C-alpha cells in the first residue's frame, strides 16, 4: 500500500530517504517539491535522479487533492470541490481580500482587515487606543492611500502603458491579502441546525495530508505563494477540527513549517469541544481560536447546537476564560444571527453579559440561506441593532460580510452542492442534488 508525501513531516521524509539509501540533502529536495513547488506526482520532482523517482513511485504518491469542480462567484470568491483517492470529496473556498473575519483579533491579519474597510464595527481596544481612535486611524490611512493613487494617476502619461504580460507579472509579485477556508472532515458530526454541512452527517476524518493538500491545490490554482503573498487560513470549512484533533494539529504544523503560512495568519473555529480547547491552549504551534457561540442562553443554544447538552455555556466560557492568550491576541466568538430566533435585543444583552470581562471580540454573521435550512436571514437593521448593543456594552463586534452566497460558498453553506444559487422562488425546483462522494 502506498503512502502520501503530503502529510509527512521532515523527519518522516528523511526516514524515507535513508531507507532508499540516498544522501540526506534529498530530504530538502522532496520537501521543497511537495510543499513549495506543489508538484502533483513523484515523477515531477525534477531535482531527483530518474532512477530514484522510479523507485519512490512504487511506495509513495504525492497525495495531491484533485480539483473536481470549481464555481466562481460574482464577488470573486471561488468554491472548489476537492476529490481524494478514495472517491470522497470536500469543499474549499478561496476569498480574494478575505471576508473581514480576522478584524479585531489583535493580529497582523486583523489590522489589514480593518485597514481594508471590509467590516463594520469597532477594533478591539488596546492600551494605546480605544475602538473609535482605531477606526479614525484606519480611515486616515485609507484616504491617504487613495490620495497617493490619485496623484500617481494624474501624472501618468500614455507612453507608460505596459504589456499584458508585464501587468500579469507585476500582479503576481504584488502581495495579496486573501483567505482560504479549508475542511477537516468529510461532512460534519456536529448537528448545528442552521448549517448545510450538518445535513451530510460525517463520512470520515481527513488525514493531515488531505487537509494540507487543499491549501496546496488552491495556492497552485490561484498562482500565489506564501509568505510573499499574505495568505490567511481559516479552518472553518466542512467538519469540526477538534473532532479530528491530531490530524488538524499536524496539518497546522506542516502549513507553518513547510508551506510557509504563519500561525498568526491561521484561525480555527470550534463548535465548543471543551476538552480540546483546553488541550489546544498548550500547543507549541497553534492558530488563533474562534468559538461558535450562536446563542445567548443554554436553552436556545441546545436547540440550535445539540452539542451544548454535553458542554454547556458555563463549561465553554470557563475554558475560554482559562485559555492562555498570547500578546495582542483575542478570542473570537462567532454568532450566526437567525431572524426572530436569536437576534433579539434581549439576546444581545444576554450575550454581552456572558462575555463580560473576556478578552474577546464577536463576529456577527447574518444567516446564509440554503435548501433544507428552515431559518430566515435577519434584516440589516436587526443586525446593526445587535451589533450596537454589544458595542455599547464594551464588546468589540464586527459584521462578517458574506462571500460567495450565490455559489453556496458562504459560512454554513458548504454541502458539495453541484449547482449555484437561484432566486428563492425557483430554488426548490432548480437546485441539483449534492455530489455524494
Which residues lie below 8 Å from residue 295, measured CB to CB, with a gap of 6+? 301, 303, 304, 305, 308, 342, 347
Three-state SS for 185? strand
In this structure, are residues 434 and 201 in contact, taking their beta carbons and an 8 Å threshold? no
Beta-bridge partner residues of 333: 291, 362
Interior/surface letters 169-193, b for 16+ CB within 10 angstroms, e for the rest: eeeeeeeebbbbbbbbbbbbbbebe
Cell numbers 500614455: residue: 158
Cell numbers 444559487: residue: 421
> One of 138, 181, 360, 411 is an active-site residue; which one?
411
385 is an active site residue: no
> Can you say how many angstroms the Cα of residue 335 is from the centroid of all Cα atoms in its chain?
16
Tell me how far apart the alpha carbons of residues 224 and 222 are, in angstroms, rounded to a whole number: 6
> 194 vs 9, 28, 182, 370, 414, CA distance in Å?
37, 45, 19, 9, 12
Tell me how far apart the alpha carbons of residues 294 and 271 are, in angstroms, rounded to a whole number: 9
Cell numbers 504544523: residue: 253
Q: What is the DSSP letter of 417?
A: B
Tell me how far apart the alpha carbons of residues 334 and 194 are, in angstroms, rounded to a whole number: 13
Three-state SS for 180? strand
Q: What is the DSSP letter of 121?
A: B
* Pairing relationship of beta strands 177-181 and 185-187 according to DSSP bridges: unpaired
Rg (CA), the chain: 23
Which residues lie below 8 Å from residue 217, measured CB to CB, with a gap of 6+? 38, 64, 65, 66, 67, 80, 82, 92
216 is an active site residue: no
> One of 22, 91, 111, 112 is an active-site residue; which one?
91
Which residues are known catalytic residues? 91, 411
Amino acid at each position: 500500500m502506498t503512502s502520501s508525501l503530503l502529510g509527512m513531516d521532515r523527519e518522516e521524509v528523511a526516514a524515507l530517504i535513508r531507507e532508499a539509501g540516498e544522501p540526506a540533502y534529498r530530504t530538502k529536495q522532496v520537501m521543497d517539491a511537495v510543499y513549495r513547488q506543489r508538484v502533483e506526482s513523484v515523477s515531477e520532482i525534477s531535482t531527483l535522479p530518474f532512477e530514484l523517482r522510479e523507485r519512490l513511485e512504487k511506495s509513495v504518491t504525492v497525495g495531491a487533492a484533485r480539483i473536481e469542480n470549481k464555481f466562481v462567484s460574482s464577488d470573486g470568491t471561488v468554491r472548489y470541490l476537492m476529490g481524494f483517492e478514495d472517491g470522497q470529496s470536500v469543499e474549499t473556498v478561496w476569498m480574494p481580500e478575505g471576508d473581514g473575519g480576522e478584524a479585531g483579533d489583535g493580529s497582523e491579519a486583523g489590522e489589514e482587515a480593518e485597514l481594508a474597510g471590509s467590516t463594520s464595527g469597532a477594533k478591539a481596544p488596546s492600551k494605546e487606543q480605544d475602538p473609535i481612535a482605531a477606526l479614525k486611524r484606519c480611515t486616515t490611512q485609507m484616504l491617504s492611500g487613495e490620495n497617493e493613487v490619485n496623484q500617481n494617476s494624474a501624472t501618468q502619461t500614455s507612453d507608460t502603458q505596459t504589456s499584458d504580460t508585464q501587468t500579469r507579472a507585476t500582479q503576481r509579485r504584488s502581495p495579496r491579502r486573501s483567505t482560504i477556508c479549508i475542511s477537516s472532515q468529510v461532512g460534519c458530526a456536529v448537528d448545528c441546525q442552521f448549517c448545510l454541512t450538518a445535513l451530510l452527517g460525517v463520512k470520515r476524518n481527513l488525514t493531515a495530508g488531505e487537509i494540507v493538500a487543499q491549501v496546496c491545490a488552491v495556492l497552485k490554482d490561484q498562482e500565489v505563494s506564501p509568505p510573499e503573498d499574505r495568505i490567511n487560513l481559516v479552518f472553518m470549512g466542512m467538519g469540526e477540527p477538534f473532532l479530528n484533533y491530531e490530524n488538524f494539529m499536524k496539518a497546522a504544523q506542516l502549513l507553518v513549517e513547510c508551506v510557509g503560512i504563519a500561525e498568526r495568519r491561521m484561525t480555527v473555529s470550534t463548535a465548543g469541544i471543551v476538552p480540546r480547547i483546553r488541550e489546544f491552549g498548550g500547543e507549541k504551534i497553534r492558530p488563533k481560536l474562534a468559538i461558535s457561540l450562536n446563542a445567548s442562553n443554554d436553552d436556545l443554544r441546545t436547540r440550535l447546537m445539540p452539542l451544548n447538552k454535553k458542554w454547556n455555556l458555563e463549561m465553554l466560557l470557563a475554558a475560554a476564560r482559562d485559555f492562555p492568550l498570547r500578546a495582542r491576541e483575542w478570542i473570537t466568538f462567532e454568532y450566526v444571527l437567525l431572524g426572530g430566533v436569536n437576534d433579539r435585543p434581549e439576546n444581545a444583552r444576554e450575550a454581552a453579559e456572558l462575555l463580560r470581562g473576556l478578552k474577546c471580540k464577536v463576529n456577527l454573521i447574518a444567516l446564509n440561506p440554503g435548501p433544507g435550512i428552515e431559518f430566515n436571514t435577519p434584516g440589516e437593521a436587526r443586525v446593526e441593532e445587535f451589533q450596537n448593543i454589544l458595542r455599547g456594552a464594551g464588546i468589540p463586534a464586527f459584521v462578517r460580510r458574506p462571500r460567495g452566497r450565490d455559489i453556496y460558498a458562504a459560512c454554513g453553506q458548504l454541502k458539495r452542492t453541484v449547482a449555484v444559487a437561484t432566486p428563492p422562488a425557483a430554488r426548490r425546483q432548480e437546485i441539483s442534488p449534492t455530489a455524494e462522494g
